[in-house]
Amino acid sequence: MNTKKSQGGKSRCPICQLGIFTELGRPIEDALQNLDAESLNFMAGSTVYETASAATAIYVLMHGYVKLAKTTLIGKSQIIRIVRAGEIFGFDGLVAEYYNHSAAAVGEIDVCRIPVAGLQDLGEHKAEVERLIMVRCIKELQHADERLLELGAKRSPERLASFLVDWCNAASANGWVPLVLSRSEIAQFLGLTIETVSRLFASWKRDGILREQKQSIRVMDWQRLKLLAQSN
Amino acid sequence: MNTKKSQGGKSRCPICQLGIFTELGRPIEDALQNLDAESLNFMAGSTVYETASAATAIYVLMHGYVKLAKTTLIGKSQIIRIVRAGEIFGFDGLVAEYYNHSAAAVGEIDVCRIPVAGLQDLGEHKAEVERLIMVRCIKELQHADERLLELGAKRSPERLASFLVDWCNAASANGWVPLVLSRSEIAQFLGLTIETVSRLFASWKRDGILREQKQSIRVMDWQRLKLLAQSN
DNA sequence: CGCGAAGTTGAACATAGTCAATTTCCGTGG
DNA sequence: CCACGGAAATTGACTATGTTCAACTTCGCG
C-alpha cells in the first residue's frame, strides 16, 4: 500500500484552507464541507491514479508536486503537466469514464480528493463550483497551448531555458530554488533525453549562467538565460 | 475587409441547427436566440482573431476548418489546434482579457460569434450552458494532452502517420479524403518542416501506402499506416 | 565503506533541418 | 483553350541537432 489517509475515512477536507474555493464565499465553502472529500497523503513516487483507471474524482493538490504523464504504445513517456500546490488535476473525472493520463507524486504530497458524484449534491451551489472548475480548466488549456509551442517550435536549449525561467519564477524565492525534478523527469517533460538535459546544464554551469548544489539551482545570469529561452 | 456578415447586424445565429446546444433542451435554445450572437462568414485565409486582441467572444464553428496558432518571439509558428465544424474555439474569451493565440480560416468558414457579455444574460440557463462549455473545454484539454505526447515523444513518421489516421477517421468518408491543409500547415501542426512532410508523403506514396490527387488523399494500406503511427 | 541509482561525458550515429535547384500546380489573362 | 507567372511542392546534397551506446563519476543511503 503506497497511499495512506492522513486521518482515516471521510476526514474534513481542508479545501478552503488553501483558498481555492474561498473566492466563492462562505455558503459554498460550507456546502463543500458536506461532500465526502478526503484528505490524502501520498509518499514520494507513489501513484495517485493510473492511465485508464476509473475517473471518479477530481483532485486539488494541497502540498507538493504532482506529475501527469502519458505513455506511447512503445513505452516512451511524456510528462504533460507538473501540478503545483493549489491547482486542480484529474479534470477527466468530470467528463470521461477513465483517466487518459497517470498522476504520480513527485516527493511527498497532500491532496484533496473530491468524488465527482459528490458534486451533484451541491444543489444550488453546483453551478458556481463548476464555473470555477471551468475557469481553471481554460487556464490549463492555455498552459497546454504554450507547451505545444515549446515542444513543436523550439530547440533543446530554448525548451530547457524557458522551463527553468518558469520554474524559478513560480518559486518566487530568488536565490537558490529547489529543483524537485530529476534529470530524467525534466527530459520527459521537455521531450528530450537525459543526456541532452545534462549537457545543457553542464554547459550553462561552465558559462556561469547557473549554479547547482544539492538538488537546488541558482540562476546567476538571468539576462542570458532569458535570451537562451527565446532564440538560439 | 476580409470578413463579411452573412446577413448584416445581429442576425439570428443558427447555433441550434448544428445541434451543439440542442442537448440542453428547447428553453435554453430559445434563450440562446436572445444573445446577440452573430453569424459570420470568413473567406479562406482570413483572420478571425489575432493573438493579443481583446477576447470578448467565444465562437462555434458552423462549417469549414479553423487553425489556431501561436508564434515564438523569433517568428516560428505552431498550429495548436485544427477546429472542426461543431466545435467551440476562443475559450480565452471566458477568462482572459486577450486571446493567447490566433484563429484563421482554412478555406471558407461560417462561425457563430457569441459575445461573452451576452452569456451573463442567460439567467437561470447560464449554468447549463457553462457546464456544456466546461465539458467541451475538458475534452480540448484531453486532446491537447494527446498532442503533447505526439510532439514530445514521437518521431516525424509517427507524427505524420497518426495525424493522417486521425484526419481520415474524422472525415469518416472512406476512400478519398480531402486534405484541407497545405504541406506548410501540416508541418506547422506537427512541429516539422515542409521538406520532411513532403519526403514522408513521397516515400509512402512510393511504398503504396497512400495515394494523392487534387488535394485529396486515399489510404491504401491502413495496417501499415497505423503501424507507422505507433513505432518506427 | 560499499552498493545502486542518478548523473556526466565522449564518440559514433541518425534524424530532421537547411539551402538550393527544379518541378508541379493553379489561377489569370491573352 | 492555351500560355504565362507565381506560389506550393518536390528532390537532392549537406549540415546540425540531438539520440544512442557505453564508460565512468558522483551522490545518497544503509
Give me B202's grid cell: 513521397
For B182-211, what is each residue's pLDDT tens digit? 999 999 999 999 999 999 999 999 999 999
Q: Is the CB of B212 under 7 A from strand D?
A: yes
d(CA A22, CA B198): 53
Domains belonging to chain A, first-starting first, are: 3-151 (2.60.120.10), 155-230 (1.10.10.10)
Considering only alpha carbons, which residue of chain B is nearest residue A126? Answer: B127
| B149/A96 CB distance under 8 A | no
Reference B6, options B62, B81, B57; nearest CA is B62
d(CA B107, CA B205): 26
Residues, chain A: 232
d(CA B86, CA B62): 6
| CA of A71 vs chain B CAs: smallest distance (Å) | 7
Residues ≥6 apart with Cβ < 8 Å to A69: A77, A78, A79, A80, A101, A102, A104, A188
Segment B1-12 shows an average pLDDT of 39
For A134-145, what is each residue's pLDDT tens digit? 999 999 999 999
* C-beta separation of A94 from A58 below 8 A: yes
Total H helices, total E strands in chain A: 7, 10
| B151/A151 CB distance under 8 A | yes
C1’ C9 / CA A205, Å: 15
C1’ D28 / CA A171, Å: 25
Check if A101 contacts B (Cβ < 8 Å): yes
Whether the CA torsion B171, A69, B103, B179 is positive or negative: it is negative
pLDDT given at position A73 = 92
Q: Estimate to the nearest angstrom the gap between the alpha carbon of A72 and the chain centroid.
A: 20
For A162-208, what is each residue's pLDDT tens digit? 999 999 998 877 789 999 999 999 999 999 999 999 999 999 999 99
- Decide if pLDDT at A13 tops 70: no
Reference B61, options B35, B46, B41; nearest CA is B41
Whether the CA torsion A211, A213, A217, A218 is positive or negative: it is negative
| A154/B72 CB distance under 8 A | yes
Give me A184's grid cell: 530524467
A 7-46 residues inside an 8 A Cβ radius of B = none
Count CB atoms within 10 A of the CB of residue A172.
7
The confidence band for A28, taking pLDDT boundaries of 50, 70 and 90, is low
| A78/B152 CB distance under 8 A | yes
Segment B15-43 shows an average pLDDT of 66
Reference A205, options A192, A195, A219, A216; nearest CA is A219
Using a CB-CB cut-off of 8 Å, the residues of chain B touching A153 are: 72, 76-78, 191
Angle made by CA atoms B63, B133, B153, in degrees to the nearest 5: 80
Segment B13-39 shows an average pLDDT of 61
The CA distances from residue B230 to A144, B98, B162, in Å, are: 23, 38, 8
3-state secondary structure of B13: coil
Residues ≥6 apart with Cβ < 8 Å to B202: none
For B161-171, what is each residue's pLDDT tens digit? 999 999 999 88
Looking at per-residue confidence, does B174 or B154 come out higher?
B154
Segment A24-28 shows an average pLDDT of 59
Give me B92's grid cell: 480565452
Question: Strand D: which of residues 186-205 in chain B lie with Cβ below 7 A?
Answer: 194-195, 197-199, 201-202
| B191/A152 CB distance under 8 A | yes
Check if B190 contacts A (Cβ < 8 Å): yes
| A139/B231 CB distance under 8 A | no
Nucleotide nearest to A45 (CA to C1'): C5
Reference B72, options A22, A141, A232, A202; nearest CA is A232
Computed over every residue of chain A, the mean pLDDT equals 86
| CA of B7 vs chain A CAs: smallest distance (Å) | 32
Considering only alpha carbons, which residue of chain A is nearest residue B232? Answer: A74
Q: Is the CB of A157 under 7 A from strand D?
A: yes
